Amino acid sequence: MSQAFRLKQSIEDAVMAGEFRPGDRLDEASLAERFGVSRTPIREALLQLGAEGFIDVRPRRGAIVSVPSPTRLFEMFETMAEIESACGRLAARRLTPESDAAMEAAHHACEEAVRNADSEQYYADNRNFHEAIYRASRNGFLADQAFALHKRLSAYRRIQLRARNRLLQSLQEHAGILEAIRAGDEQLAASRLHSHVLVQGERFSDMVLGLTQDRSVPAGTRSGAGR
């Protein structure tokens, strides 16, 4: 596989691991040195990450880890809520034994993590649970979109899950979602997923708003993201 692709993964991982924090500059020379390659594949990786919205590449001004405004972040969570509820609706409509088993297994893993109060493990299992729902939609393209957005938001979601109490509540919501999907109740599955996701976004946004004191809420931000 090409270096550019490997680098793309590595840089993405580094960003998601919090090694580069939002606003940090990703300068080509130091990345090149760090990974022992020339600037060329680094540039290629950065441009791809930029096209996917993970980072901001500003012409002639270098790339930075994108810093979504609180408003933008809320918009992203709201969009995630819409996409996830679409997945849930389709999953309820098209449930197969395989999908069912996959969601069931992921849910059990989440239960286990909660029993152990292992929030880091829950973070991983939670992801699997949601991905199982995406796949259960039996729409590969929609699932891909959901994966991508989930990944973009995971940094923010992780912080949210640290709140102890939230773990149990999240698990209970999962149970409700699973129940609705199994019952074939599209509406209920959609609405439960919607609030499950949106609540996280709202809580997180509240947190951010509280921290930054930024209540300006500019309407049409358009930080070179999803294009």
Instruction: Give the residues lining the site for DNA (CB under 7 A).
Output: 2-4, 25, 27-29, 37-41, 43-44, 57, 59-63
CB of 67 to DNA, least distance (A): 15
CB of 16 to DNA, least distance (A): 21
CB of 190 to its own copies, least distance (A): 10
Partner whose footprint covers residue 161, from DNA, its own copies, none (CB < 5 to 8 Å by kind): none
Name which of residues 63 to 102 contact its own copies (CB under 8 A). Answer: 72, 75-76, 78-79, 82-83, 86, 90
Between 9 and 40, name the residue whose CB sits nearer to DNA: 40
Within 10 Å of residue 157's Cβ, how many Cβ atoms? 20
- Note the residues at the interface with its own copies (CB under 8 A): 1-2, 4-5, 40, 43-44, 47-52, 59-60, 72, 75-76, 78-79, 82-83, 86, 90, 138-142, 144-145, 147-148, 219-222, 225-227
